[in-house]
Amino acid sequence: MQGENLTIWSFFFLEGFSRYPKLEIVLFVFSLVMYLISLVGNSTLILITILDPRLQTPMYIFLGNLSFMDICFTSASIPTLLVNLLSSQKTIIFSGCAVQMYLSLAMGSTECVLLAVMAYDRYVAICNPLRYPMVMNRQVCVQMATVSWVTGCLTALLETSFALRVPLCGNLIDHFTCEILAVLKLACTSSLLVDTIMLVVGVLLLPIPMLLICISYVFILSTVLQISSAEGRNKAFSTCGAHLTVVILYYGAALSMYLKPSSSGSHEIDKIISLFYGMLAPMLNPIIYSLRNKEVKDAMKKLQGKM
């Protein structure tokens, strides 16, 4: 198999949940409802952050970016899942598989960095409120968002390009999407280079941003506890609570997926975890932010009044 390239496969079969045919229609309805809620919720958040002048602040600019990522992230894989759940031929062409792999990695990686950026934004807002307008001005905000996108897209390009060079001994992917770990399980031989790249990128985009988020919240908690006003503490906890909830949901699933030993767990558990962080977290993000944030709720009421 030396020198063989993945391009010999013009299409791939996606195993998905075909081992449980009686559950496929239930999963279809479940996935469709969650996908539609995610699209509507995140699109609404993007719309109100654009239309409402009160939301033209770094926090909501980052939130708009997060919502756009969630739309792209779910749209990269969920439509294919929905089609395959109703189809007997669960296939995807090679180019579609490559695009799906890249978009999922790019959006997921970008979100890891952006969540750390959002934690820093909350740190400056609460721990250094007087300097906040100067430190987090619009130019800095745009630069930080751009760095998040560039980092995520470039690391995804690196991972995808090397993964596509690995010779595969089959075209049956035991997953509902072209998830990179599932594709690499088809490799004829292990690739030290690809494994090293996956490990380095995984450490750079998961534990390190998570550590930065934890450090930010240690300082935030220390500052909040020193606020004498109960109203001030509640407001600080409210603005941070939504972000922290999203971080726990997203990083919890991602860490369990990408930084566990490759031999541990079953393929079915991997699929469930992928479904969780690929659908549930993007669906809950706009709900979490709208329920816990007075400014967002006011902006949504204002938008509804104009419709």
pLDDT digits (tens, 9 = 90+) for 135-157: 999 899 999 999 999 999 999 99
Confirm whether 223 is domain-assigned: yes
> What pLDDT, on a 0 to 100 scale, did the predictor assign at position 229?
75
> What pLDDT, on a 0 to 100 scale, did the predictor assign at position 124?
92
Confirm whether 145 is domain-assigned: yes
> What pLDDT, on a 0 to 100 scale, did the predictor assign at position 185?
86
**How much of the chain, in percent, has pLDDT values that exceed 70?**
87
Q: Can you give the residue range of the structural domain that contains 98?
A: 11-305
Q: Are 41 and 246 contacting, i.e. CB atoms less than 8 angstroms apart?
A: no
Q: How far is CA 144 from CA 147, 148, 153, 303, in A?
A: 5, 6, 14, 28
Confirm whether 1 is domain-assigned: no
> What pLDDT, on a 0 to 100 scale, did the predictor assign at position 280?
80
Whichever domain contains 263, its CATH number is 1.20.1070.10
Q: What distance in Å separates the CA atoms of residue 237 and residue 50, rounded to the nearest whole number?
A: 25
Q: Which residues pair with 172 in a beta bridge?
A: 13
pLDDT digits (tens, 9 = 90+) for 250-304: 777 776 666 555 544 556 677 777 777 678 878 888 887 776 667 777 777 776 6
Confirm whether 6 is domain-assigned: no
Q: Are 90 and 12 contacting, i.e. CB atoms less than 8 angstroms apart?
A: no
What is the four-CA torsion angle of 170, 172, 174, 175, rounded to 10 degrees?
120
Name the domain count of the chain. 1
Cα torsion angle, 51, 285, 214, 298, sign: positive
Q: What distance in Å separates the CA atoms of residue 33 and residue 37, rounded to the nearest whole number?
A: 6
| pLDDT band at 7; cut points 50, 70, 90 | very low
Query: Which two tokens mark 188?
Result: 């004829």
Query: Which two tokens mark 271?
Result: 């699929």
Q: What distance in Å separates the CA atoms of residue 203 and residue 210, rounded to the nearest whole number?
A: 10
- 40 secondary structure, DSSP code: H
| Single-letter residue type at 120 | Y
Helix then strand then coil, in percent of the chain rounded to 5, is 75, 5, 20
Q: Are 45 and 63 contacting, i.e. CB atoms less than 8 angstroms apart?
A: yes
Of 101, 97, 78, nearest to 28 (Cα)? Answer: 78
Instruction: Tell me the backbone φ, ψ of residue 34, rounded to 5 degrees.
Output: -65, -40
> What pLDDT, on a 0 to 100 scale, did the predictor assign at position 256?
67
Confirm whether 5 is domain-assigned: no
| pLDDT band at 2; cut points 50, 70, 90 | very low
Mean pLDDT of 104-117: 92
> What pLDDT, on a 0 to 100 scale, did the predictor assign at position 156?
94
Q: What distance in Å separates the CA atoms of residue 293 and residue 237, rounded to the nearest whole number?
A: 10
pLDDT digits (tens, 9 = 90+) for 26-84: 889 988 999 999 999 899 889 888 888 888 888 889 989 999 999 999 999 899 889 88
Highest mean pLDDT (candidates 4-18, 164-178, 231-245, 262-276): 164-178
Q: What distance in Å separates the CA atoms of residue 203 and residue 198, rounded to the nearest whole number?
A: 9
Instruction: Tell me the backbone φ, ψ of residue 172, rounded to 5 degrees.
Output: -105, 105
Confirm whether 224 is domain-assigned: yes
Confirm whether 2 is domain-assigned: no
Confirm whether 4 is domain-assigned: no
Angle between helices 294-306 and 21-51 (to 10 degrees): 90
